[in-house]
């Protein structure tokens, strides 16, 4: 009875202070200085949380199947997607939440942290203005995890089907990093990624923006965003909205976002607490 009493004596209600200490400990394990306070409303979830949930489930499934890396870079599935990826997404039978296909592969399985960033600024030169048309996006990458380096970064944008376009027409979509802006002049641009997709396809497009995010990580002030151009095979400039690329005003589940993969730069060492 004495022994039983001793065992059960450890099962007691925590005091308020102990509760706070334990919460602080769990937050510390998660690498957080305090409890985050996201701004409401968070419902319904937008595209980035949905994508991250898919990624979480994929990683969890991988964790259960221990020892195996997630390697899904099979035929027709490039590291960061592309036209083949777009085709696969649009034809895949996906769960309720999944309107996305996470970029599974070694990048994901090796990542210690994955962060999605909401698009903050969207500017465009559309049909009412002279050509070439473009669309700009900007993401705030300042709350980056400390002691981690970027291994990959993707800009994800959804393409819907639009009327009045030949389905077999090929569209060239290119994404540039805006390196310098000057008044009354075109900014300096550096090509990040380009994809050729059929006009009659619908789904997520993923562009490799790793070099830009590395640049922004080193020089946060140089983050002027990215610019997207659409051209036909005849080099004719098209508006992003006209070919069905969804922007900030589109449905929440299809809004563009950026996802960045990080890896701890050194052997993790927990600070003394």
Partner 1 sequence: AVKPHPRKKKPKYDLPVPNSRCDRSPANNGGQPCKKHELYVSFSDLGWKDWVLAPTGYSAYYCDGECFYPLGSCMNATNHALIQQVVHLLKPNEVPKACCAPTKLSPISVLFYDDNNNVILKKHRNMVVKTCGC
Stretch that binds partner 1, among 33-41, 86-94, 196-204, 212-220 (CB under 8 A): 33-41
Q: How far apart are CA 6 and CA 224, in angstroms?
A: 63
Residue 52 tokens read as 């991250």
| DSSP-derived 3-state class of residue 262 | strand
Stretch that binds partner 1, among 44-52, 121-129, 196-204, 243-251 (CB under 8 A): 44-52
210 neighbors 122 (Cβ within 8 angstroms): no
Q: For residues 10 and 266, which CB has a smaller minimum distance to partner 1 in the complex?
A: 10
Asked if residue 140 binds partner 1 (CB under 8 A), the reply is: yes
Q: How far apart are CA 44 and CA 266, in angstroms?
A: 38
> What DSSP designation does 45 have?
-
Site string (54-83) toward partner 1, x via CB under 8 A: -xxx-xx--x--------------------
What kind and span of H or E run contains 173?
strand 170-180
Q: For residues 35 and 180, which CB has a smaller minimum distance to partner 1 in the complex?
A: 35
Asked if residue 111 binds partner 1 (CB under 8 A), the reply is: yes
Asked if residue 38 binds partner 1 (CB under 8 A), the reply is: yes
Residue 235 tokens read as 């080099």
Asked if residue 36 binds partner 1 (CB under 8 A), the reply is: yes
- Which residue, among 88, 99, 103, has the nearest Cα to 58 in the 3D structure? 103
| DSSP-derived 3-state class of residue 186 | coil
Residue 72 tokens read as 């899904």
CB of 143 to partner 1, least distance (A): 6
Q: For residues 119 and 239, which CB has a smaller minimum distance to partner 1 in the complex?
A: 119
Stretch that binds partner 1, among 26-34, 85-93, 121-129, 229-237 (CB under 8 A): 26-34
Stretch that binds partner 1, among 38-46, 126-134, 164-172, 178-186 (CB under 8 A): 38-46
Length of the chain: 273
Asked if residue 132 binds partner 1 (CB under 8 A), the reply is: no
């Amino acid at each position: 009875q004495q022994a039983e009493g001793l065992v059960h004596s450890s099962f007691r209600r925590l005091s308020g202070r102990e509760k706070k200490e334990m919460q602080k400990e769990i937050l510390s394990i998660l690498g957080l200085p305090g409890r985050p306070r996201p701004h409401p409303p968070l419902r319904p979830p937008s595209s980035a949380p949905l994508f991250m949930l898919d990624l979480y489930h994929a990683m969890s499934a991988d964790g259960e199947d221990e020892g195996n890396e997630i390697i899904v870079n099979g035929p027709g599935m490039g590291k960061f997607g592309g036209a083949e990826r777009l085709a696969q997404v649009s034809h895949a039978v996906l769960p309720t939440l999944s309107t996305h296909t996470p970029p599974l592969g070694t990048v994901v399985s090796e990542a210690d942290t994955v962060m999605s960033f909401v698009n903050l600024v969207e500017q465009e030169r559309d049909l009412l203005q002279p050509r070439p048309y473009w669309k700009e996006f900007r993401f705030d990458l300042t709350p980056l995890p400390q002691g981690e380096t970027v291994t990959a970064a993707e800009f994800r944008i959804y393409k819907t089907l639009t009327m009045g376009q030949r389905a077999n027409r090929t569209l060239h979509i290119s994404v540039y990093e805006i390196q310098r802006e000057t008044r009354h002049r075109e900014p300096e641009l550096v090509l990040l990624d380009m994809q050729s997709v059929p006009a009659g396809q619908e789904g997520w497009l993923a562009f490799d923006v790793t070099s830009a995010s590395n640049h922004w990580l080193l020089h946060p002030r140089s983050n002027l965003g990215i610019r997207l151009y659409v051209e036909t095979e005849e080099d004719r400039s098209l508006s992003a909205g006209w070919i069905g690329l969804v922007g900030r005003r589109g449905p929440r589940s299809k809004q563009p976002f950026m996802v960045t993969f990080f890896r701890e730069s050194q052997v993790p060492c927990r600070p003394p607490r």
